[in-house]
């Protein structure tokens, strides 16, 4: 699915990812910030903007 749809699902409280990812993205309901949950269990809210933007342009998002 396109990121626009994935974003709407995150706003609704779901977690999304791209195929092959071991982590996922979600919107923290307390802070209303996009949070990236990494495969190693760490979470970041201010990641590499270039990587973030390139991923938002992808159309292969799936619900976790």
Q: Check residue 47 and give its pLDDT.
A: 52
Q: Check residue 49 and give its pLDDT.
A: 52
Tokens at 52, concatenated: 């973030």
Q: Check residue 48 and give its pLDDT.
A: 56
Strands (E), 1-64: 16-17, 24-27, 34-37, 43-44, 62-63
Q: Check residue 39 and give its pLDDT.
A: 95
43-54 mean pLDDT: 69
Q: Yes or no: say if 25 and 10 are a contact pair by the CB < 8 Å rule.
A: yes
Q: Per-residue pLDDT tens for 7-47?
A: 899 989 999 999 999 999 998 888 888 899 999 999 988 65
Q: Of all helices (H) and strands (E), which one includes residue 30?
A: none
């Amino acid at each position: 699915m396109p990121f626009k749809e994935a974003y709407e699902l995150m706003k609704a409280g779901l977690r999304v990812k791209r195929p092959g990812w071991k982590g996922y993205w979600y919107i923290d309901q307390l802070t209303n910030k996009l949070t990236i949950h990494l495969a190693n269990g760490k979470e970041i809210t201010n990641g590499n903007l270039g990587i973030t933007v390139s991923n938002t342009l992808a159309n292969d998002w799936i619900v976790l």
